Copies of this chain bind each other. A is one copy, B any other.
Amino acid sequence: MYTVKFNELKVFMHNILKKLGMTESNIETVVDIYIEITKRGVGHHDIHNFPSRVERLMSGKITVNPEFSLLASYGCMESWDGDNGLGELINTFLMERAVSLAQDHGIGFSTVRNSNHYLASSPYTTQATERGCIGIVIAKGPPSMGVPGTDGKVIGQSPVGFAFPTKREWPVILDICLAYASGEQLLRRAKGGQPVPEWWGVGPDGRPTSDAEQLLRGTKYPIGGHKGFGLAILCELLTGVFSQGPVLDEQEGPDMAWKSSSHTAVAIKADALMDMDSYIGRSSDLIDRIDARAPSIHIPGQHSYKNKVEFERSASIDISGELFDKLNQCAKALNVEGLAIL
């Protein structure tokens, strides 16, 4: 383990992205998202993903400074082409558009094709809460979930997230996929030798398994079987179809117009139907009443906020030797200064 200061990490990432030719404004957006998301303390879809992103930027697989183009708009809805840029940049832009549309219409719906993985949904959903909106984000991915009663992978596991403001210091944040467990969660269980519930999916032999490694090589099931499956169909519609991107398992569109992924951001103006004080009062009543009925459970968002506060107090993070090496390999390849440790 190496202890790294967040400020050093920021400078390090900045230097790398600058060397790749990214504009200052784009660098600021991307670095902020990595830092913000790393402070959640989930241990994946954060700084761990930076080296592979750099690799894709270096090899030209992702556009460094994408130019977004509006495909269509109608009232509170817009669809965009993301120019195959970083998902982090595109989803920030997308939620900004959704919030702006929500200011005018109450709701904003902004969808994009030809984008890339955006890490996790919380930076974008909280972007909405900071501007007085409820934020919802839905992503499309390739088929990774099965359906009980049939073999093989049928549909994407539909990462979805939302956040909404209350009177508390932290917004309520949910960041999930519609499978019982994401690949990352299974990987952690597999590494720790922890079993998984048998209803989470099937191994490569098509049989229920409690072995996380078998499940990783097999097929995950949707939450609640046909229920999660049905919700995933709606998510596919609102991302792939509405963005004019690929649907379900399509690989690429005409002229490679959408060789990569689609996602959708929705913002709902919290004070559209009542003043902000009333909204905050009532959304807080909701959370307080859940707390009162189940004092022992965490409200979604509570735990990651605690992590964030602790990280901000220490202003540093411990990273593994493996990650440290990977980050410094990026630096070396680009001939920029390596990451300093405490």
Residues of A bordering B, CB below 8 Å: 71-79, 104-107, 109, 111, 134, 136, 143, 147, 149-150, 152-155, 162, 164, 172, 174, 176, 178, 180, 197, 199, 223-224, 226-231, 233-234, 236-238, 240-242, 244, 247-250, 268-269, 272-274, 278-279, 282-283, 285-286, 289-290, 293-294, 296-297, 299-300
Whether B150 lies near A296 (C-beta < 8 A) is yes
Known: A75-B76, A155-B290. 10 other contacts (CB 8 A): A74-B273, A75-B104, A76-B76, A77-B273, A147-B294, A147-B297, A150-B294, A152-B293, A162-B234, A164-B237
Is A77's CB under 8 angstroms from B290's CB? no
- Is the Cβ of B76 less than 8 Å from the Cβ of A105? yes
Instruction: Check A286 against B106 for contact (C-beta < 8 Å).
Output: no
* 5 A-B pairs in the complex with CB atoms less than 8 angstroms apart: A72-B273, A105-B107, A223-B223, A236-B286, A241-B283
Residue of B nearest to A162 (CB): B234
Contact of A289 among B73, B226, B247 (CB under 8 A): B247
CA distance A197 to B197 in the complex (A): 12
Note all chain B residues with C-beta closer than 8 A to A136: 234
Q: In the docked arrangement, what's the CA distance between A149 and B235, Å? A: 29
Taking the nearest CB of chain B, how far is it from the CB of A72, in angstroms? 4
Residue from A178, A227, A236 whose CB has the most chain B CB atoms within 10 Å: A227
In whole Å, how far is A124's beta carbon from the nearest beta carbon of chain B?
A: 16
Question: What residues of B have a CB within 8 angstroms of the CB of A296 in the complex?
Answer: 149-150
